[in-house]
């Protein structure tokens, strides 16, 4: 790959050697990309390579087998948000999920736009309810883009599209109230905002997080990637404390 200059969102950072770091960035046209940042642990670079920051990145590599060299310039900092518990937890989780779930160098332009939108909402919203709905939708889109999408178009039991209120944990398909009779306890609640759009109350938001969380853990965050779920647990716990 020749030199590539692209806007990107910082998703993860890992120390490498005494002074360097390996950064994983989500780009709009090339997907998730990793690169070695010389001096990435320096005082000047630490505030640039924070998860959630928007940067202008330049990747350089001589062979496909080599890890790219990476230089970054800060385009937009979200560092002030990292001092606030709820926004910090949201940014930490959204970026950790992206870095853990996506394969390298595979374009996901819809996910780039959606992640940028979620981070922008976290930054702009005066309260968590303003961005929590977007975060649930981002998780749902992540599942769909990676081939594990939920079928929320019609009831798996009756074939009808009316009164969809649950999702089957087995089939990942919607179930109507009529189709769920007697089996409600075995199903996952389907919050209305995932069908009709718009805002949601906290009960529906937590139902949405429970729904997407179940399928993320089962389908995407397995094996070595399961440790990133700790970031999601922290976020949900902080949300519950905030609205208690």
Taking CA atoms, 62 is separated from 4, 25, 106, 194, in Å, by 12, 19, 20, 45
Single pTM value for the model: 0.94
pLDDT tens, 75-130? 999 999 999 999 999 999 999 999 999 999 999 999 999 999 999 999 998 889 98
Q: Domain spans of the chain? A: 4-77, 81-152+190-243
| Helices then strands, each counted (H, E), the chain | 7, 8
CA-CA distance, 237 to 195, in Å (whole number)? Answer: 26
The percent of residues in the chain predicted with pLDDT above 90, rounded, is 84
- What three-state secondary structure class fits 151? strand
Fold of 81-152+190-243: de novo design (two linked rop proteins) (1.20.1440)
Taking CA atoms, 172 is separated from 39, 137, 148, 204, in Å, by 45, 16, 8, 18
Indicate whether 38 pLDDT > 80.
Answer: yes
Residue pair 34/24 in contact by the 8 Å Cβ criterion: yes
Structure tokens belonging to residue 181 = 């009779």
**What's phi and psi for 183, nearest 5 deg?**
-125, 10
For residues 181 and 61, which has the higher predicted lDDT (pLDDT)?
Answer: 181
- What three-state secondary structure class fits 36? strand
Domain 4-77 class in CATH = mainly beta
Nearest to 74 by CA among 52, 97, 91: 52
Task: Give the pairing of strands 164-167 and 188-189.
Answer: antiparallel
pLDDT tens, 44-67? 999 999 999 999 999 998 676 789
The residue assigned the tokens 């005066």 is 126
Rounded average pLDDT over 185-206 = 95
For residue 167, list its beta bridge partners: 174, 188
């Amino acid at each position: 790959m020749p030199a590539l200059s692209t806007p990107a969102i910082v998703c993860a950072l890992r120390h490498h050697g005494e002074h360097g770091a390996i950064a994983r960035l989500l780009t709009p046209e090339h997907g998730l990309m990793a690169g070695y940042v010389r001096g990435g642990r320096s005082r000047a670079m630490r505030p640039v390579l924070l998860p959630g920051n928007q940067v202008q990145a330049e990747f350089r590599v001589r062979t496909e087998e080599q890890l790219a060299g990476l230089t970054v310039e800060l385009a937009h900092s979200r560092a002030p948000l990292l001092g606030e518990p709820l926004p910090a937890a949201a940014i930490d989780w959204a970026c950790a999920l992206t870095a853990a779930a996506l394969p390298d160098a595979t374009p996901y332009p819809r996910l780039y736009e959606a992640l940028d939108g979620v981070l922008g909402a976290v930054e702009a919203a005066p309260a968590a309810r303003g961005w929590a709905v977007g975060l649930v939708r981002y998780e749902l889109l992540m599942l769909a883009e990676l081939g594990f999408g939920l079928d929320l178009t019609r009831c798996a039991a009756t074939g009808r599209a009316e009164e969809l209120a649950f999702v089957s944990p087995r089939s990942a398909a919607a179930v109507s109230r009529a189709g769920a009779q007697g089996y409600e306890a075995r199903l996952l609640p389907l919050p209305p905002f995932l069908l009709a759009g718009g805002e949601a109350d906290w009960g529906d938001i937590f139902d949405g997080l429970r729904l997407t969380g179940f399928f993320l853990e089962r389908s995407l965050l397995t094996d070595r990637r399961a440790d990133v779920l700790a970031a999601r647990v922290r976020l949900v716990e902080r949300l519950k404390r905030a609205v208690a």
